[in-house]
């Protein structure tokens, strides 16, 4: 069979014709720069920014942006970079909520659709890269075929990646006065295996069964060392120190879906799934004096387990040709358990103390929804949905009385798409929705993550809060879209959110140590505008893509100025050119910028992040219909990253500035379609 992929005008058609506002990233865009992580790929997409590896919509991360896998919420704590881009068929960027999906999407949702194709396929990719100072290989294999009523497929990626990150920190304290610098070097290597097996059966009565899996296994080996120079004043407890960490992680998502046709115009689908996420880590910290004399050793053994049983179902029917009605449910029973044992000792082996922490959090969620997609007129489409979602959380552990919280949220959703009169290319969208943000289970556990050296208000311990409540928000979205030619499109949109019970950080001093913990504090307002365009140039074989996003927010619980919510990224933009001559060569370049600036965290604490500018390029040679070579240059500007934290309470202040150099990366990928018999 001829190979068919969603790309080009197909992705544009999905965006243009759906009542819900969405941006679709097809396989062609996923493969364009040969990215090996989703965060690197998504940072070039409209309305998306990346900070510290965290993917954000509307400049907001930390749970405001929802990650979906095949329409279902990803397990809490799962990094988006766990999923290899090679396993993905397409990505949908959803700007507003829908009743069918979870309403935990204040900023929006990123829906990752795994590959499900059943055509005969044998594809091989071999890659080598040097990123962040570390060279690593990777290999990807795609296998799929059909045998009668059974189709099957397996996508797998094996990789060895890492980074080498030097940094310099200057810390100035007043009351007592001190000035010191830290030279740090952190390195990490990660060996990772991603597998996505799938099976599809067509039963004798026409029903179908689909079994979709995602398995990730990875082993991470990290090391870091720090050297302090004291210019004046007291030094830290351990001016010379180093750490090592070895962790193993297993993630599994498995689900079986049964689909049954009911009459000619109705369909019932039911799914049962299981998620498993296990991590164990062995960590060792060694502290020494300025002349290198060993002083202190800390050994930590920890593990965390997340288990979830999920269920969902949907009945879809067509009413009077104009209405597409769906009703359904989804639910999950999630349990997170953590254990951390910390043993402190002197350099001579004398025990200085032991800390054993064991906690468990259980979250039960059930949701019911109904939605109607209504073709009001040939030029007006409407969507009405209602979702009720209930949460029951329970947290307990050693030396902690059980804490239980129950909450429920009604989330009405209304969307409209209107094609303007006498226009085939212009349309307007409006959406109103109620969304929420539930506290992640890790934030419900009162486990203390301790700082080994130089604890302070800008480098505190971190502790969870079992009394956290969900945040609630009303949101309004509006967009104007224009489509022209075969591939051209332009969109400008605006949004506003009003949030209550916002989660903020409380910084305090306890027994000589600074600690930060989350709590619900007040309200926030969020607003912004976005622009994106895509079109070919008439005079040259060049495709142009551009996008920009400007975001504002104000948190009532923190005094201004710069009291942005969740350290929101104010502005991000990308401009890309793709040169496609008639021959076998394609060239492309993408220039991006992301601002940071000052942000006030609390009355006495503020952070600053410098502007980030990036430049990436690629070249693609197609040797024949089955083979091609892709060369990518990444982070060509290799700009340093600047971060600053400032704390001042009148009698005491600390100013901490960190500069982290970056490096240019290069990646080569050879792709070949093997012969299919």
Q: Examine the pLDDT at 417 and tell me if it is beyond 70.
A: yes
DSSP E strands in 447-502: the ranges are: 448-449, 461-463, 471-484, 488-500
Instruction: Report how far residue 589's alpha carbon sits from residue 556's, in angstroms, rounded to the nearest whole number.
Output: 41
pTM of structure? 0.88
Strands of the sheet containing 88-94, edge to edge, are 22-25, 88-94, 108-114, 65-69, 72-73
**Is 157 exposed, middle or buried (CB count within 10 Å of its CB: 0-12, 13-18, 19+)?**
buried
CB count, 10 Å around CB of 264? 6
Name residues whose C-beta falls within 8 Å of residue 181's C-beta, 6 or more positions apart in sequence: 168, 169, 170, 171, 228, 229, 231
Instruction: Report how far residue 477's alpha carbon sits from residue 105's, in angstroms, rounded to the nearest whole number.
Output: 13
Mean pLDDT in residue range 181-191:
95
pLDDT band at 2 (very low <50, low <70, confident <90, very high): very low
pLDDT digits (tens, 9 = 90+) for 194-205: 999 999 999 988
pLDDT digits (tens, 9 = 90+) for 85-136: 888 989 999 998 889 988 888 999 999 998 876 678 889 999 999 988 899 9
pLDDT digits (tens, 9 = 90+) for 6-33: 444 677 777 787 877 888 998 889 988 9
Instruction: Report how far residue 5's alpha carbon sits from residue 28's, in angstroms, rounded to the nearest whole number.
Output: 8
Give the HSE-up count for residue 135: Cα atoms under 13 Å, Cβ half-sphere: 2
pLDDT score for 5? 45
Q: Examine the pLDDT at 654 and tell me if it is beyond 90.
A: yes
Pairing label, strands 597-600, 571-579: unpaired
Q: What are phi and psi of 566, to 5 degrees?
A: 55, 35
Q: Are 138 and 162 in contact (CB under 8 A)?
A: no
Q: Examine the pLDDT at 60 and tell me if it is beyond 80.
A: yes
Determine the Cα angle at 493 with ends 492 and 496, to 5°.
160
Q: Are 385 and 369 in contact (CB under 8 A)?
A: yes
Q: What is the DSSP letter of 29?
A: H
Mean pLDDT in residue range 643-671:
93
Determine the Cα angle at 566 with ends 561 and 569, to 5°.
75
pLDDT score for 254? 95
The H or E element containing residue 592 is strand 585-594
Alpha carbon dihedral 58, 645, 41, 101, in 10-degree steps, equals -40
pLDDT digits (tens, 9 = 90+) for 130-156: 988 899 999 999 999 988 889 999 999
Higher per-residue pLDDT: 498 or 357:
498
Instruction: Report how far residue 415's alpha carbon sits from residue 429's, in angstroms, rounded to the nearest whole number.
Output: 7
Bridge partners (DSSP) listed for residue 203 = none
Domain boundaries, the chain: 9-145+178-218+237-673
pLDDT digits (tens, 9 = 90+) for 223-258: 999 999 999 999 999 999 999 999 999 999 999 999
Q: Are 68 and 75 in contact (CB under 8 A)?
A: no
pLDDT score for 118? 60
Architecture of domain 9-145+178-218+237-673: Beta Barrel (2.40)
Instruction: Report how far residue 611's alpha carbon sits from residue 589's, in angstroms, rounded to the nearest whole number.
Output: 20
Give the Å distances, CA to CA, from 77 to 20, 148, 345, 440: 27, 40, 32, 8
Instruction: Indicate the range of 244-248, 361-365, 672-676 predicted with least confidence.
Output: 672-676
pLDDT score for 646? 94
Q: Examine the pLDDT at 54 and tell me if it is beyond 70.
A: yes
Mean pLDDT in residue range 489-504:
94
Q: Examine the pLDDT at 653 and tell me if it is beyond 70.
A: yes
């Amino acid at each position: 069979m001829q190979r068919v992929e969603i790309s080009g005008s197909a992705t544009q058609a999905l965006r243009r014709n759906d009542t819900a506002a969405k941006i679709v990233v097809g396989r062609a865009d996923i493969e364009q720069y040969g990215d090996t992580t989703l965060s690197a790929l998504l940072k070039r997409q409209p309305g998306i920014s990346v900070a510290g590896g965290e993917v954000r919509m509307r400049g907001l991360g930390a749970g405001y942006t929802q990650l979906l896998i095949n329409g279902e919420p990803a397990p809490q704590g799962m990094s988006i970079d766990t999923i290899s881009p090679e396993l993905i068929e397409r990505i949908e960027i959803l700007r507003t909520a829908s009743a069918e999906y979870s309403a935990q999407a204040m900023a929006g949702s990123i829906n990752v659709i795994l590959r499900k194709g059943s055509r005969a396929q044998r594809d091989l990719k071999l890659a080598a890269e040097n990123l962040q100072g570390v060279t690593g290989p990777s290999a990807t294999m795609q296998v799929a075929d059909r045998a009668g009523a059974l189709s099957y497929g397996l996508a797998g990626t094996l990789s060895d990646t890492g980074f080498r990150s030097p940094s310099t920190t200057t810390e100035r304290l007043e009351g007592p006065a001190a000035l010191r610098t830290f030279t740090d070097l952190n390195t990490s290597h990660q060996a990772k295996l991603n597998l996505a097996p799938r099976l599809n059966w067509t039963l004798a009565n026409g029903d179908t069964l689909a079994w979709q899996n995602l398995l990730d296994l990875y082993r991470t080996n990290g090391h870091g060392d720090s050297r302090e120079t004291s210019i004046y004043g007291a030094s830290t407890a351990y001016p010379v120190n180093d750490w090592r960490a070895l962790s193993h992680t297993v993630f599994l998502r498995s689900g079986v879906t049964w689909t049954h046709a009911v009459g000619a115009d109705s369909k019932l689908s039911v799914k049962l799934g299981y998620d498993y996420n296990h991590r164990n880590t062995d960590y060792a910290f060694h502290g020494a004096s300025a002349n290198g004399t060993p002083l202190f050793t800390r050994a930590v053994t920890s593990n965390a387990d997340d288990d979830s049983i999920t269920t969902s179902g949907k009945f879809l029917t067509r009413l009077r040709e104009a209405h597409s009605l769906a009703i359904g449910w989804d639910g999950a029973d999630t349990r997170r358990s953590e254990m951390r044992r910390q043993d402190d000792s002197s350099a001579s082996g004398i025990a200085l103390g032991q800390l054993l922490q064991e906690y468990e959090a259980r979250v039960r969620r059930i949701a019911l929804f109904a939605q109607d997609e209504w073709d009001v007129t040939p030029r007006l489409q409407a969507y009405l949905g209602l979702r009720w979602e209930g949460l029951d959380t329970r947290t307990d552990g050693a030396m902690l009385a059980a804490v239980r919280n129950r909450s429920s949220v009604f989330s009405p959703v209304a969307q409209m798409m209107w094609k303007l009169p006498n226009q085939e290319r212009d349309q307007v969208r409006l959406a109103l929705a109620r969304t929420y943000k539930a506290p992640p289970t890790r934030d419900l556990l009162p486990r203390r993550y301790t700082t080994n050296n130089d604890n302070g208000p800008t480098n505190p311990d971190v502790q969870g809060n079992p009394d956290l409540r969900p945040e609630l928000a009303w949101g309004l979205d509006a967009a104007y879209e224009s489509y022209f030619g075969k591939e051209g499109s332009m969109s400008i949109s605006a949004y506003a959110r009003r949030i209550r019970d916002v989660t903020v950080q409380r910084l305090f001093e306890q027994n000589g140590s600074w600690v930060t913990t989350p709590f619900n504090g007040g309200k926030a307002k969020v607003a912004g505008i976005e622009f994106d365009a895509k079109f070919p140039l008439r005079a040259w074989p060049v495709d142009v893509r551009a996008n920009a996003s400007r975001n504002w927010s104000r948190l009532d619980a923190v005094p201004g100025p710069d009291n942005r919510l969740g350290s929101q990224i104010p502005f991000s933009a990308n401009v890309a050119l793709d040169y496609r001559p008639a021959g076998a060569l394609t060239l492309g370049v993408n220039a991006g910028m992301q601002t940071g600036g000052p942000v006030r965290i609390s009355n006495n604490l503020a952070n600053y992040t410098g502007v980030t500018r990036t430049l990436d390029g690629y070249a693609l040679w197609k040797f024949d219909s089955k083979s091609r070579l892709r060369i990518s240059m990444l982070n060509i500007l290799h700009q340093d990253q600047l971060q600053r934290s400032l704390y001042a309470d009148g009698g005491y202040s600390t100013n901490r500035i960190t500069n982290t150099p970056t490096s240019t990366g290069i990646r080569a990928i050879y792709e070949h379609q093997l012969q299919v018999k």
